[in-house]
Amino acid sequence: MPVFFVLCTLVVISTLCKGHFQPCRVFPTDLFVEVGSSVWFVCSCDSVRNGKFSWTLNRKSVDEKLSKRINSTHSMLSLTNLIHSNATVECHNPETKQILAGTIVRTYSKPQNISCYLHYENPTDDGVPQLFTCTWEHQTHNSKTINYTVNIESADVFSCISSVKSCTVNVFSHLSLSRNIAVTVKAETASWTSRSDSYEVNPFSILKMNQPVVTTSAFSDHLLVSWNNVLDSFDFSCQVKYNKTFSPTVESSKIINCWSCFNATIEDVESCTFYNISVRCAVTEPTWSDWSPEETVLTKVKQRHAELLSWRKVSELENYKRIVHVMWTLSQQGIPLKCMDTVKFDIQQTAYGENTAEGNSTACLSSPCDIEVDEHAHQIHLRAVQDENVIVQDSIYVPAVSESLPRVTDIQTSSDKGVILVSWTAPKEPVRSYMIDWTHNGNQYEWAESKNTNATLLDLQDRKQYNITVTPLLLDGRTGRSTQALQICSGFGAPGRITVSDVEPYDTSAFVSWDTKPEDVCSDAVVKYTVFYRNQSTKTLQNVTVDGEKLYVSLKDLTPATQYSVYVEGAAESGQTRSEESFFTTKRFDPRLLTRAIVCGIIILILLLSFGLFCVIMWKKVKEKPVPDPAVSSVAEWLLQSNQKGNYHFQQFFVPFESYCDKIHIQEFLNVLGEKPVALTETQHLPFHEDSTSLLSSESCSVNPYRCQTTTDTLVPRKAIQCKHESNQQHERFSPKSVYVSLHLFEQTGLLESGKDNFE
């Protein structure tokens, strides 16, 4: 109503001044109102004479029912429950849709949700708290600085000034715990002022205790949490919060409540597990103290849940001694425990069948532990001790060197996705179970017991080669002989590193070769290679695939005098790997053409030389005719018969391809000599060369009488004339023959001499 009267007054003044022209305007201007308030606006415009106006709020039309005509030049708008932080109000000429005038209205809110509490200045203080702190909420929509004043009324009235939404004041001499405390908050700027509703509270309901000081003790089956005495004169309640420090899953914290207590027992904890523990207390529940700093504690081994699994690896006998590598795990429900520092281990070794009290004892802090034994059978007793009490124990058997014991056979292994499957054939003797141990480096061993003749090895390191051993456990507590399987990889990795080793470019092709070097023994074998090559000019990518056993390929249909890039990708079942990119440039012409031309020229030259040599040899053979060789000749004895004619047993000489005229008649030859024919019992003839018929010097005749012979051309046979015609006919077919007769080795040398005389 006061705003309405103000607006009416303004309208009257505007009317009285009607004689003076006034521009259009909306008032009040730059208005600040509290959120949810109602507000009136007046639009005055002398250019409008019919009293018709329209209104908009943030450029949206306002219902005409909310506006009212005052006169022909004035209109009033009424807005209720204004919640906009910033609102633009404008009046328009409804006929021309022209904006006549406007203004901006801003809202503010009052502080609310006040919360206060009493607390101590120092963590060790007690009694009546010294500090009083209040916080509140306040929605602000502008950047103007807001000053807050907190008015506190208790035994005295006092205040706290702040520029933020919290304020702390020392009330040690102003506060009475027997009276309620009343609080109001005032927010103030240069443009507006707002006050909160009054907040009244009981001092004990807002008393905030100091953080408890907590200590925790671990026992074999529980945890004991204790804290200091916070308030002797007040009743209070406390909460103990605990949760696992390391947990594979997100678990909510567990809470233990107690009243006026100073300790609590936590029993539902696991062995060898880290827990975070914190405590808070309050006089009344709404005002809890801050949680104490988290304390981390490791629980001890629960005797009723502890399990000890031991095993051993025995070395070969050397100098009558063997080293036994004793290993063990302490577990709870099959889960290994990690609190080895809270447990001590003791190893006793005795000869098999003897009392444990008679054996040697060795103290070990952790697994593994090495002890020394001889070649005889021994029993190894392992005990876990906590707080001087034996919580669990186990024993293992070490067989004698010469002891005959059963063993498993036919161990088969296979791996798939990091899991190794092991199977074997049981021995003929009955067994209780089997112990399987495996290692990838010979130092760290894992082992497990199986009732069946197979086992599955899990949680293996990837791409590692494992040694696996299976040992039968007999019914009488002894162990059989160990059998080791072939090494096997837990998994296979990428094929290894591929390197392009050589590229031989030609004009339209290129020969590419590469090498593959496995990174380790468990690198997978390459199934196929794919060679990618790209034309650097056209950026066209092509590929060719070859079998995994080939390490080369020939790229075809390339462009001459062009740069190419090439890389090789190897694919295996476990993954892929690729080489670095290499570059090469094809030749303008094929360099192999010159090589081929040179090779062909050399071959042709060799053939020509061979043919020429063959021709020379054949020519010499044609030119050189056969000559008798006395070294391979044989002679026969001439038989002298007086006055016997026409009865000659001397066979005629035979020359291949000779005519009738070429034949030599021994009878005629003897007639020339003037001697009677001699019967020839045996003779042989051989072909001989013409070149050997030349006359030799007299020096040669003195050495070898064969060389003193003359040709038969000096002798004129009787039938020479008769065969002349026949000889002329065969002249073209056969060359003339020269025949020599060897007459050196006759027993009757007088025949030769007489023949010579008659011939002369």
Residue-wise DSSP of 716-731: --GGGTTTHHHHHHTT
* Nearest Cα to Cα of residue 47 among 98, 111, 113: 98
Show which of 281, 299, 317 is a domain's final residue.
299
CA dist., res. 745 & res. 755, Å (int): 15
Residues 180 and 245 in one domain: no
Do both 410 and 487 map to the same domain?
Answer: yes
Residue 307 contacts residue 382 (beta carbons within 8 Å): no
Q: 162 and 129 in one domain? A: yes
CA–CA distance, 55 with 45 (Å, rounded to integer): 13
Summarised one tens digit per residue, pLDDT across range 349-393 is 888 876 555 567 888 888 899 999 999 999 999 998 887 888 889
The answer to whether residues 498 and 584 belong to one domain is yes
Residue 82 in this model has a pLDDT that exceeds 90: no
pLDDT over 90 at 622, yes or no: no
Closest by alpha carbon to 584, among 567, 570, 563? 563
Above pLDDT 70, what percent of the chain? Answer: 77
Verify that 382 and 421 share a domain, yes or no: no
Paired sense of beta strands 98-108 and 31-34, if any? parallel
Determine the Cα–Cα distance for residues 213 and 270; give it in Å rounded to an integer.
25
CA distance 706 to 697: 12
Is residue 217 assigned to a domain?
Answer: yes
- CA 539 remoteness from chain centre: 30
Domain assignment present for residue 692? The answer is no
* Among the ranges given (188-192, 232-236, 274-278, 736-740), the one the predictor scored with the smallest mean pLDDT: 736-740
Q: Amino acid identity, residue 555?
A: L
Inform me whether the pLDDT recorded for 629 exceeds 50: yes
Residue 581 lies in a domain: yes
Query: Residue 517 belongs to a domain with what CATH number?
Result: 2.60.40.10
Nearest to 45 by CA among 105, 90, 104: 90
**Short-list 84, 62, 81, 76, CA closest to 26:** 76
Residue 2 lies in a domain: no
Structure tokens at 176: 């009475």
Pairing assessment for the beta strands 483-484 and 295-298 based on DSSP bridges: unpaired
Residue 684: inside a domain? no
Spatial CA neighbour of 10 closest among 99, 25, 81:
25
Amino acid at 645: K
pTM above 0.85, yes or no: no
- In angstroms, rounded to a whole number, what is the distance separating the alpha carbons of residues 382 and 349? 9
Report CA-CA distances (Å) from 436 to 236, 402, 467, 477, 757.
59, 23, 11, 16, 121
| Per-residue pLDDT at 751 exceeds 50 | no
Backbone torsions φ then ψ of 734, nearest 5 degrees: -130, 135
Report the C-alpha gap between 566 and 202 in whole angstroms.
Answer: 84
Residue 115 has a pLDDT of 92
What are phi and psi for residue 574, nearest 5 degrees? -95, -10
**What CA–CA distances, in Å, run from 311 to 329, 358, 379, 461?**
9, 22, 12, 21
Average pLDDT, the chain: 79
Host H or E run for residue 565:
strand 563-572
Q: What is the pLDDT of residue 386?
A: 84
Q: What residues does 158 pair with on adjacent strands?
A: 152
Amino acid identity of residue 396, one-letter, is I
Q: What is the number of alpha carbons within 13 Å of residue 518 lying toward its C-beta?
A: 11
Annotate 498-527 with b (16+ C-beta within 10 A) or e (fewer).
Answer: bebeebebbbebbebebebeeeeebbbebe
Q: Which of 467, 519, 465, 459 is nearest to 490 (CA)?
A: 465
568: Cβ contacts below 8 Å, ≥ 6 apart: 498, 500, 512, 514, 529, 530, 531, 532, 578, 579
Mind giving me the DSSP string for 16-66? HTTTS----EEES-SEEEETT--EEEEEE-TT--S---EEEETTEEPPGGG
Please classify residue 601 by burial: count the beta carbons closer than 10 Å to its beta carbon, then call 0-12 exposed, 13-18 middle and 19+ buried: exposed
Boundary (domain end) residue, out of 74, 108, 142:
108
Distant-in-sequence, close-in-space partners of 388: CB < 8 Å, separation ≥ 6: none
Q: What are phi and psi of 57, to 5 degrees?
A: -120, 115
Calpha distance 86→327 (Å, rounded): 77
Nearest to 522 by CA among 550, 494, 548: 494
Residues 487 and 519 in one domain: no
**Percent of the chain clearing pLDDT 90 (strictly above):** 36
19 pLDDT band (50/70/90 cuts)?
very low
CATH of the domain at 360: 2.60.40
Identify whether residues 261 and 287 lie together within a single domain: yes
Are 341 and 322 within one domain? Answer: yes
CB 155 within 8 A of CB 179: yes
> pLDDT band at residue 341, thresholds of 50, 70 and 90?
confident
Q: Give per-residue pLDDT as tens, 250-309.
A: 778 999 998 888 899 999 888 888 899 999 988 877 788 889 999 999 888 887 778 888
CB contact at 8 A, 185 and 195: yes
CA-based nearest residue to 665, from 731, 625, 716: 716
Tell me, yes or no, whether 321 and 248 share the same domain: no
Number of structural domains, the chain?
6
Q: Which of 178, 201, 224 is the last residue of a domain?
A: 201
At residue 635, the pLDDT reads 59
Question: What pLDDT, on a 0 to 100 scale, did the predictor assign at position 756?
Answer: 46
Query: CB of 362 within 8 A of CB of 323?
Result: no
**pLDDT (mean) for 54-78:** 89
Q: Is 530 helix (H, G, I), strand (E, B) or coil?
A: strand
Is the same domain home to 378 and 357?
yes
Domain hosting 268: range is 213-299
- Residue 714 inside a domain? The answer is no
Decide if 693 contacts 627 (C-beta within 8 A): yes
Q: Which band of pLDDT confidence, cut at 50, 70 and 90, is reported for residue 495?
A: confident
Q: Select from 307, 312, 365 the least CA-distant residue to 337.
A: 307
Mean pLDDT for 185-212 is: 89
d(CA 394, CA 449): 14
- Of 76-80, 109-113, 732-736, where does mean pLDDT reach its minimum? 732-736
Question: Is residue 635 a part of any domain in this protein?
Answer: no
User: Is residue 486 pLDDT above 90, yes or no?
Assistant: yes
Q: Are residues 309 and 270 in the same domain?
A: no
Do 476 and 497 lie in one domain? The reply is no
pLDDT of 142 over the 50 cut: yes
Region 409-434 average pLDDT? 93
Has residue 252 been placed in a domain? yes
For the segment 529-556, the average pLDDT, to the nearest whole number, is 93
**Cis before 368 (ω within 30):** yes
Residue 580, pLDDT score: 93
Query: Tokens 């462009």 map to which residue?
Result: 559
Torsion sign (Cα): 753, 754, 759, 760: positive
Residue 399 has pLDDT above 90, yes or no: yes
Q: Are 277 and 305 in contact (CB under 8 A)?
A: no
- What tokens does 332 get? 């709870």
